[in-house]
Chains A and B, each alone.
Chain A
Amino acid sequence: MTTNEPMPEQTEAAPKKGRVKTPRQPMPEQDPRRRRTNFEEVPRGYSEETAMLEASRCIQCKKPGCVEGCPVNIHIPAFIKLIAEGKFIDALLKLKEQTALPAVCGRVCPQESQCEARCILGKKGEPVAIGRLERFAADYARKHGGVPDPAKAAPTGKRVAVVGAGPAGITVAGELARWGHEVVMFEALHLAGGVLMYGIPQFRLPKEIVQYEVNNLKRLGVTIHTDYVIGKTETVGQLMETFDAVFIATGAGLPVFLGIPNENAIGVFSANEFLTRANLMRAIDFPRFATSPIRPRRAVTVGGGNVAMDSARTALRLGGESTIVYRRSKAEMPARAEEVHHAEEEGVVFHLLTNPVRIVTDAQNRVTGVECLRMELGEPDASGRRRPVAVKGSEFVIPADTVIVAIGNQPNPLVPQTAPEINTSKWGTIATDPVTMMTSKPGVFAGGDIVSGAATVISAMGQGKMAALAMHRYLMGGDPPQ
């Protein structure tokens, strides 16, 4: 980048020219050799000084692309400006106008493909570290006694049921509660948070943060029923008898397996099970927590997404060698670059262009290895990615005692099974009107992975925001108060 080149779309508040020279501030991270032995969070967060310095890099675009890139349209330049001014608490309040979960989003959003991808600084250099700043604001406020609850509109007298306390559900509940509706959430598991609790590991998203955010929701007046399995404990139809509207956000919680021989051997896990044991059930704190942990000596994770990275890195921390087997090349990996990078740093071994064809077991039906085939990339397929083709006779066995299958999830079938009046797609997702987010059953809305199929936290939250608005309109016939 040359300093002389005038920056486009500069605002009056633009910093002096020299400022832009400030490089993107790195976030301190635990040394990889060290962190692979612990479940502490990997990035340690900005200090106040670093945060202000990084915030000062923002040039406060008039038409900020970052905001458009954000699925929940956070007023990014505004909150960054407040940080730059040292008004950290105000920054968080600004964030909270648009997001219920800033501490979470700041950690797990794929900013590089969303807000930061649109940052003008990124065109010629490195974008502003929006995610890190969001995280900083949220962490700062939490460590300093929190922020005042956002203003709540007068009660509307409407009752809304939210099914599933994951990112989409939390977003909807937060919005609707602020707008004066009585919100009751139903969570099948014993703790609210959904994938934030059971799926994303501690070292990426400390569970205390999730529960902090869940508590914020409760303070807003949202009632949360855990251990309440909609579709079993009660059906959506029954909910509609006592609620004015229902939002279904039950997520994509049905693991997909490979369909290869011996896949039910002891030692083969879905990523969901592997991560749930470690995270939600806190097997990493075994035996204080009763759930048995998996202690792999040689773990093989199959898949190339974020969940695969989480699994492989968790396996590493549970004491073993960890290998990722992915049938395409690194370029095709759907995981965030940062996650792949972190995994590599920590010593996860990548077997790319490799496809498992059989689980090898011993007499006790325990895994001893994964038989794989080498692949090469052929012609592009429908997704535009080059199709992997097996290399004949290239079979080889990767020794393993643990195999984690992280090749995706299907929508959880419990609600669709028990609500035949709600139309679903052939993939099992719930069909909704793209504008109103309403399902085929009037008053019943849906969002998150149960609609879109397995995706990201923030996209689920984005859908939640849209759904909340749509539901408010459905309930009140007008826009919510600002």
Chain B
Amino acid sequence: MGSISLTIDGQQVEVEEGATVLQAARKADIVIPTICDHKDLNPYGACRMCIVEIAGVRGFPTSCTTPAAPGMQVVTQSARLTELRNRTLELMFSGHPNSCLVCIHREACEQYRPKVTKAARSTRCGFCANRDECDLRTMALSAGKNELSLPTLYASYNLERDDPFMDRDYNLCVLCGKCWRICEKIHGKPAISIINRGKWARIGTAFDKSHVFSGCTFCGGCIDICPTGTLTDRFARWQGKPEADTPSACILCSEGCSVVAQSKGGQLLAYTMTGFNKEAGLCALGRFGAAQIAASNQRLIRPLVREGEDLIPFDWQGAIAAAAEGLKDCAGGVVLVISAATSREDRFLYVQLAEQLQGRMLLLPAEAGEDDPQVQALAAAVQGGTIRAVIANGNLLPVEMMAKVPFSLIIDCLHSPASSGASVVLPAAVLSESGGTFRTATGAIKQLAVSSQAPGDALPEWRIVCDLAQALGLTGFDFERVEAVTPLVADDPAPAPVSGDPRQNVRDLIPRFRGHLLADVVSALAAFGLPTTPAETSEETTGVGFPILEKREIAPNMHFFKVKAEKVAQFSLPGQFVILMAKETSERSPFTLVDWDAAEGTISLVIEEVGRSSRELASLKAGDRIAHVSGPLGLPLTIENKGTVLLGGGCYGIGAIFPLARALRQAGNRVICAIEASSAYLLYMQKELATACDQLIIATKDGSEGVRGGIQEVLAQVAAQEPVDQFIAVGCTFMMRMVTEISRTLNIPTLVALNPIMVDGTGMCGACRVSVGDKTRFACIDGPIFDGHGVDWDELASRRSAYAREEVQALSQSVDLNALMHQPHAQSHGGGCGCGR
């Protein structure tokens, strides 16, 4: 292909024939804004941001779709182009929650709450898991857009969590089409496309079925390419931007796919594709499963040594000694059973160990389990009584067989029947935690890079084998680095390829890793029909707990609950809260009472879904039971006639001020309720509040309804018009802090309902201590309502984020996330359309 020459912004540019104007501009370092263009995808022309002017061409062609032509005269910057691009950007933003970008308090708010807000739906940037990586936000900030005249048209789609591994929030989607285009590129026939039309156009599968039945292979390409927070990896969602991208390879099967290991804080977040092309495609297991295996709560983290019936955690020294002791006199009677899902170096050392112990070594295919023919043959040999010790690096041996061998050593990463039946268990570092090389089925040798830390005391297998061999007095095991082993590894044979093509068909995924049923570890895999170990019947909890009579999502992430709790309802007073535990394993979390009905025996709550506890609650339905409801707790608000009382509520506080307003009005006060939200679609309970107060004032940060701004602005406005005798604020810490600063200057007595972390809620633990007026108070028994002007807000804010990291861990590691996945859709959609399903 020849090259052609054109002029862009007066600059002569040479490009290859076939290049687009956008590519030509990039070559000349001329920046043209775009969202839908991607270097690995064909031109699409949907976002319309990259429009340019071309001499002799009518209108404003998009540079991404226009082929460069010889002699072309292109202008990329002009007043008209800026005008059109800004309007287009504004239009694009109006379909994406943008209130944080236009909020006058944005910078203060972002400084004040740096931690992730683990909301289900990202209703604004402050809540968005993708905040750091959002192309849209970057583009808007660089365009300096904080004057958007168009209201947000929030589509109010439910958060889609009926698929394994991913959360999909189409309220954030700007239809750049990258997801379905990469899907088409990798798989030929895309599992997703734009569905519906016009206002309801969004990305989806044919007939809107679960991705499990749409031909989706869960390669994660769509998630990796999504420029907004629409598509997220459920496991890694809240971890934020990865700190490191390390090229490595996946050892879960003999394919040995090249991957980029994303990690943060020593934790593996995901294996992602090395590029956006068909060849780089990963299977669901590699893409999503690897990180979940690494972070599994079933990981072996300490050496264990059998003591009678119990396996007791040991330190390494003691455990290696115990293992050496067990193997001491077994030479000639040792069998090593090693999975092929092991690096070449580790395997080499196992072979050396077997040879020096004059033992045998069985190498099992990566996907094999204890039913492998070699293992079956071994079981027969065990019956003969000649085998004195077995070593396995996985759940590869039947427990009954191990019971017949005097000594069994398991070197593995996960708890299993084998490890619980072993004499000694040594925890191994796996996947991204251990280096070396790996030979694939095609014979290629791939480098394994260490990019995350092994949990607890786990060590790489080469290290374990070397230590063990040295403790046994064997020679040739004094390696300090795995790289020193690599040159010694002989020309090992390539493993057999896996049957099927798991990268193209999720139902071909290998079911095991080192003998562990993967669906036990990565529960989402069960959705593809991968086998699991039948669960032991869980504790019987039917009929126990507090029945949910009503549950609705009244605004995005805001769930209204009506719960039967007769005693709580009977004794509740305005300002009090309850402590809830969704399940026996849940945290104790406080929630303010929104209403109660003693006669009916019910209490009402508004619960914002922003973390594991609230997520567990949100996953309950009417008819389900909340395991524990304790309350009413806290000191109620003293209800007196003060004159004019202004109540300010934001987030959950909108609901929480309702009983205060009602009681204060009954006591003869003039009650003004002010409620704030980022945007109109986040408001709720306006009707109820309007009936409970004398005046309802609404404020939105983007001006989509009522006053533009927040409670601060309303407070200033109201105070300018009439004397306010009492001001009470309930909401996020940021809001309460900001309003107290204003009310202080206005000399208005101010109460705030504080929301620190609590455990018991009865004064027992002191977790909820806050500094008010230089005294330490317990919010649970001295509060939660305090004089706002005395609160040490910095302390409160910092204490509230004390567990930010652990909370993120809890979300990603908990099995509950998959519990949110609904039952797989019926495989048939009813027939009649002729598609055969």
Query: A residues bordering B, Cβ < 8 Å?
Result: 30-31, 33-35, 37-38, 40, 188-190, 198, 226-229, 232-234, 253-255, 257, 263-264, 266-267, 269-270, 272-273, 276-277, 281-282, 286-293, 364-366, 412-414
Contacts and interface: CB of A to CB of B under 8 A. Distances in A.
B442 to A, nearest CB: 38
B627 A255 contact: no
Nearest to B586: A290
A37 B763 contact: no
17 contacts: A34-B312, A35-B312, A40-B312, A190-B630, A198-B764, A229-B762, A255-B766, A264-B776, A270-B766, A272-B764, A272-B765, A276-B765, A287-B297, A287-B809, A292-B803, A292-B807, A366-B798
Nearest to A255: B766
Contacts of A233: 567-568, 571, 630-632
Contact of B760 (A188, A234, A289): A188
A432 to B, nearest CB: 21
Nearest to B812: A287
Contact of B581 (A35, A190, A276): A190
B548 to A, nearest CB: 15
A37 B315 contact: yes
Given A37-B313, A190-B628, A264-B776, A287 B764 contact: no
B759 interface: yes
B665 to A, nearest CB: 25
A423 to B, nearest CB: 20
Contacts of B612: 290
B630 A227 contact: yes
Most buried by B among A229, A286, A290: A290
Contacts of B629: 227
B567 A288 contact: no
A34 B802 contact: no
A35 B581 CA distance: 32
Contacts of A266: 798-799, 802
B313 A38 contact: yes
B459 to A, nearest CB: 15
A33 B759 contact: no
A412 B766 contact: no
A414 B781 contact: yes
A290 B766 contact: no
Contacts of A412: 762-764
Nearest to A254: B763
A454 B793 CA distance: 33
Interface of B: 297, 302, 305, 310, 312-315, 318, 567-568, 570-571, 576, 581, 584-588, 612-613, 616, 627-633, 759-760, 762-767, 769-771, 776, 781, 792, 794-795, 798-799, 802-803, 806-807, 809-810, 813-814
B737 to A, nearest CB: 15
B571 A33 contact: no
B810 A290 contact: yes
A366 to B, nearest CB: 8
Main SS at interface, chain A: loop
A30 B631 contact: no
A254 B768 CA distance: 12
A37 B628 CA distance: 32
Contacts of B588: 190, 281, 291
Contacts of B807: 292
Contacts of B762: 188-189, 229, 232, 253, 412, 414
B455 to A, nearest CB: 11
Contacts of B763: 253-254, 412-414
A37 to B, nearest CB: 5
Contact of A364 (B584, B631, B798): B798
Contacts of A365: 794-795, 798-799
Contact of A188 (B297, B630, B776): B630
A184 to B, nearest CB: 13
A201 B631 CA distance: 27
Nearest to B456: A319
Nearest to B798: A365
Contacts of B770: 264
Contact of B631 (A37, A40, A229, A277): A229
A366 B797 CA distance: 12
B491 to A, nearest CB: 42
A276 B794 contact: no
A290 B798 contact: no
A263 B318 CA distance: 40
Contact of B766 (A190, A273, A414): A273
Nearest to B546: A227
A264 B771 contact: yes
A140 to B, nearest CB: 15
Contacts of A263: 776
B54 to A, nearest CB: 54
Contacts of A35: 312
A47 B759 CA distance: 40
A413 B581 contact: no
Nearest to B630: A227
A223 to B, nearest CB: 14
A281 B587 contact: yes
A300 B228 CA distance: 45
Contacts of A254: 763-764
Contacts of A198: 760, 764
A289 B816 CA distance: 11
Contacts of A289: 585
A301 to B, nearest CB: 15
Nearest to A256: B766
A177 B382 CA distance: 57
Nearest to B303: A37
Nearest to B615: A290
Nearest to B573: A232
Contact of B633 (A30, A229, A291): A229
A40 B630 CA distance: 31
| Interchain residue pairs A-B with the least CB separation, the first 6 | A273-B765, A292-B806, A365-B798, A38-B313, A253-B764, A227-B630
Given A188-B760, A270-B765, A277-B759, A229 B781 contact: no
A129 to B, nearest CB: 21
B486 to A, nearest CB: 33
Contacts of A38: 302, 312-313
B767 A273 contact: yes
Contacts of A232: 571, 576, 631-633, 762
A418 B813 CA distance: 42
A291 B586 CA distance: 7
Nearest to A293: B806
Contacts of B799: 264, 266, 365
A40 B313 CA distance: 9
Given A281-B759, A288-B297, A276 B764 contact: yes
Contacts of A281: 587-588, 759
A30 B313 CA distance: 10
Given A255-B764, A266-B802, 20 more contacts: A34-B313, A38-B312, A40-B312, A40-B313, A232-B762, A233-B568, A233-B571, A254-B763, A264-B799, A270-B767, A273-B767, A281-B587, A282-B585, A287-B810, A290-B585, A290-B616, A292-B810, A366-B798, A413-B781, A414-B781
Contacts of A272: 764-766
Contacts of B809: 287
Contacts of A229: 630-631, 633, 762
B596 to A, nearest CB: 12
Contacts of A413: 763, 781
Contacts of B814: 287-288, 290
Contacts of B581: 190
A229 B567 CA distance: 10
A37 B769 CA distance: 31
A291 B587 contact: yes
